[in-house]
């Protein structure tokens, strides 16, 4: 529902769509799934509730119903209210939904009003009034009509859990007034924006994608490659375990519903391995994001969950950022460049000669020109990154160097680029500046070899 562009919806049905979307959002929260994000989230957000957003939601939620019943629905927010309240979003919404819903249900005519204001003692007050029949005088907060008692019981229970109070009474002018009051401590004057997780840079990582649906497989694999990952694809659970056994895998992204062997069984099989590969980060893909499904996936051993469909590369990157970080080594785990590789020739002549023979002398000349351009571009990037040790730039350039250097047999440069890329993925690295300078020097050496080769070429 959140993906509907309301500007394209006719005005005659727009309000119904807004009501349906609001109801769907509430239902999703009650079921324990996140209706808007592509990744796992806690049921209750830790951030304060923006009052303007809450009031706008309630207006959308109930305006259409009021109109259908021939009633007015007005919302007023006093100027002295705080920017936000530090309360759980779901219980607060349920409290107000119940009070407004009861008022709309039992009011025969007139207008239902929601007023949000700040009391003299700093308390935040929500007041819902209607112009329908009042309460039974002898039975306190019980309504004149049946069916409202459970809703009020829920309101009392949830409000007490949040540290507030509820008063419901018949108005002297007719109708009912329900007042929910939260203490001054709930008021928040400023909302600190939630920190957005960085988009993952998966360069240097081999990601096993286990997904049986061809369309989902294509979309997810293209997104992972856009994040610079090397992607290994498996079309079912059995193939996923076979590929995992046969190849180096740094991160597993696995669909839960697959033929032959489910994603849950794949996760369990990896977690019960006797070797260190049992600890590889695993992220589950599923169209089912309710609480019970999250609990089953977590119990199987997944590190995280992403709800399908995946809406963008950025959303996938943010969802994988923390898990990808676990897949990269700490600085102490990054080995120094092998002494043999460091002392070897600039270009492995056997590798270069095999390449020249395979593609022909004319084509190898064109290839060398392109390789030199790539090497010089990477060197420019790395040189610019040296003063501030720009990790993003270093990761990107070193990732390119690993493949370009390997293509022509520049094994010294390739070894240096691998070490540099690994260090750039560490949280902190005292060795990175030195390896960066070494890599820049190795690019000079490789470019020098290419220049000599061109001069000697017949």
How far is the C-alpha of 32 from the C-alpha of 40, rounded, in Å?
10
pLDDT digits (tens, 9 = 90+) for 353-370: 888 888 887 788 888 888
pLDDT digits (tens, 9 = 90+) for 143-185: 444 445 556 777 888 899 889 999 998 888 888 999 999 999 8
The pLDDT of residue 455: 81
The pLDDT of residue 108: 84
**CATH 3.40.50.2300: which residues of the chain?**
206-328
Highest mean pLDDT pick, 144-153, 242-251, 415-424: 242-251
How far is the C-alpha of 417 from the C-alpha of 407, rounded, in Å?
13
**Contact criterion met (CB below 8 Å) for 75 and 29:** no
The pLDDT of residue 42: 33
Does domain 206-328 correspond to CATH entry 3.20.20.70? Answer: no
Element (H, E) at 254: strand 251-255
- Please choose, from the candidates 204, 68, 197, 182, the residue with its C-alpha nearest in 3D space to the C-alpha of residue 125: 182
**CATH 1.20.120.160: which residues of the chain?**
332-456
Percentage of the residues of the chain whose pLDDT score is greater than 90: 25
How far is the C-alpha of 423 from the C-alpha of 428, rounded, in Å?
8
Residue 245 phi, psi dihedral angles, 5° rounding: -65, -35
**Contact criterion met (CB below 8 Å) for 234 and 253:** no
pLDDT digits (tens, 9 = 90+) for 176-205: 999 999 999 888 876 555 554 456 677 778
The pLDDT of residue 7: 47
If one looks up domain 332-456 in CATH, what number appears? Answer: 1.20.120.160
Among the ranges given (46-60, 198-212, 300-314, 319-333), the one the predictor scored with the smallest mean pLDDT: 319-333
The pLDDT of residue 201: 74
Residues 6+ apart with CB under 8 A from 353: none
State how far the alpha carbon of 206 is from the alpha carbons of 347, 392, 403, 431, in Å.
Answer: 26, 18, 14, 24
How far is the C-alpha of 204 from the C-alpha of 104, rounded, in Å?
59
If one looks up domain 44-188 in CATH, what number appears? Answer: 3.30.565.10
The pLDDT of residue 236: 94
Other beta carbons within 10 angstroms of residue 355's beta carbon come to 16
Give the residue-averaged pLDDT of 200-222. 86
Residue 123, classified by CB atoms within 10 Å of its CB into exposed (0-12), middle (13-18) or buried (19+), is: middle
The pLDDT of residue 332: 46
How far is the C-alpha of 126 from the C-alpha of 85, rounded, in Å?
12
Residues 6+ apart with CB under 8 A from 431: 331, 334, 423
Highest mean pLDDT pick, 96-110, 230-244, 325-339: 230-244
Give the residue-averaged pLDDT of 112-134. 92
3-state SS assignment for residue 287: coil
Highest mean pLDDT pick, 74-88, 125-139, 388-402, 410-424: 74-88
- Please choose, from the candidates 131, 162, 168, the residue with its C-alpha nearest in 3D space to the C-alpha of residue 149: 168
**CATH 3.30.565.10: which residues of the chain?**
44-188
pLDDT digits (tens, 9 = 90+) for 62-118: 888 888 889 999 999 999 999 889 887 778 888 998 899 889 888 888 999 999 999
């Amino acid at each position: 529902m959140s993906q509907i562009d309301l500007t394209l919806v006719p005005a005659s049905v727009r309000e119904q769509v807004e009501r349906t979307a609001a109801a769907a959002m509430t239902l999703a929260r009650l079921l324990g799934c996140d209706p808007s994000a592509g990744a796992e989230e806690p049921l209750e957000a830790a951030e304060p509730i923006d009052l303007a957003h809450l009031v706008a939601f309630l207006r959308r939620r109930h305006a259409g119903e009021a109109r259908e019943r021939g009633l007015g629905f007005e919302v007023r927010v006093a100027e002295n209210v705080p920017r936000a309240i530090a309360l759980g979003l779901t219980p607060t919404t349920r409290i107000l939904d119940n009070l407004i819903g009861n008022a709309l249900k039992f009011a025969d005519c007139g207008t239902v009003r929601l007023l949000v204001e700040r009391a003299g003692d700093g308390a935040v007050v929500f007041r819902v009034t209607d112009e329908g029949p009042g309460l039974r005088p002898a039975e306190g907060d019980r309504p004149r009509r049946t069916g409202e008692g459970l809703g009020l019981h829920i309101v009392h229970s949830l409000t007490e859990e949040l540290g507030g109070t509820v008063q419901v009474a018949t108005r002297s002018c007719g109708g009912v007034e329900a007042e929910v009051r939260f203490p001054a401590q709930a008021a928040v004057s400023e909302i600190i924006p939630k920190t957005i997780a960085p988009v993952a840079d998966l360069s240097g990582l081999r990601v096993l994608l286990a997904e049986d649906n061809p369309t989902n497989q294509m979309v997810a694999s293209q997104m992972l490659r856009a994040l610079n990952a090397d992607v290994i694809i498996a079309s079912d659970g059995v193939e996923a375990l076979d590929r995992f056994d046969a190849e180096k895998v740094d991160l597993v992204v696995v669909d839960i519903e697959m033929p032959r062997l489910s994603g849950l069984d794949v996760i369990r099989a990896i977690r019960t391995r006797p070797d260190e590969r049992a600890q590889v980060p695993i992220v589950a893909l599923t169209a089912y994001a309710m609480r019970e499904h999250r609990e089953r996936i977590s119990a199987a051993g997944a590190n995280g969950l992403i709800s399908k469909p995946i809406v963008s590369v950025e959303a996938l990157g943010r969802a994988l950022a923390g898990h990808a970080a676990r897949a990269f080594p700490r600085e102490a785990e990054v080995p120094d460049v092998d002494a043999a590789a460091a002392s070897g020739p600039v270009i492995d002549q056997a590798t270069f000669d095999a390449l020249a023979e395979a593609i022909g002398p004319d084509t190898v000349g064109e290839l060398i020109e392109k390789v030199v351009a790539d090497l010089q571009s990477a060197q420019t990037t790395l040189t610019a990154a040296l003063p501030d040790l720009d990790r993003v730039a270093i990761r990107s350039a070193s990732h390119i160097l690993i493949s370009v250097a390997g293509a022509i047999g520049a094994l010294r440069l390739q070894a240096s680029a691998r070490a540099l890329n690994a260090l750039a993925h560490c949280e902190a690295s005292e060795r990175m500046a030195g390896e960066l300078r070494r890599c820049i020097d190795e690019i000079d050496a490789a470019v020098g070899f290419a220049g000599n080769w061109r001069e000697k070429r017949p």
